[in-house]
Amino acid sequence: MRLTKSTDIALRIAMRLAVLDEGSNPTTREVAEAVGVPYTHAAKVVSRLQHLGVVEARRGHGGGLSLTSAGRTGSLGPLLRELEGVGDVVGCEDDPPCPLRAACRLRGALRTAQEAFFATLDPLSIGDLVAAPTGPVLLGLTTRPGPGTGPDRDTRPSA
């Protein structure tokens, strides 16, 4: 099983926010640059994480992103179920539909395997993921200079 790009980005963003000092509140652009993802993708993911109560995003002076306490301590299993959706792993109902779908045992076996995958993440939280050695690596990530960064950049958060 492979996670969608959106879920991968969501986990990277949440992990980055989990290791930052309280009150640092980076912008979406800064976090996107630090974890190596395009800003447009990060902005969509941050919106979704905000909707799920994982990230708080504030605009204006003193704004930016922060991980909520629920985002830090909540179970990864339900978060990934929500981000990934719990659809079929294979395209039984695609167009054209699989001719075996009425009598296939693979679909059920894959659904069971998918749930086992999520269940292994149930006892873990974002906080668990950023323990050493991951946390120090996340802290070492810096935003890369580029257009709109550096000392002359607009300092308004893009959260």
What proportion of the chain, given as a percentage, has pLDDT over 90?
Answer: 58
Q: Are 126 and 67 in contact (CB under 8 A)?
A: yes
Q: Say if residue 84's pLDDT is above 60.
A: yes
Task: Please calculate the CA angle 99-102-106 and round it to the nearest 5 degrees.
Answer: 85
- Once rounded to an integer, what is the mean pLDDT over residues 45-70? 93
* Separation of alpha carbons 45 and 87, rounded Å: 20
φ, ψ for residue 125, nearest 5 deg: -130, 170
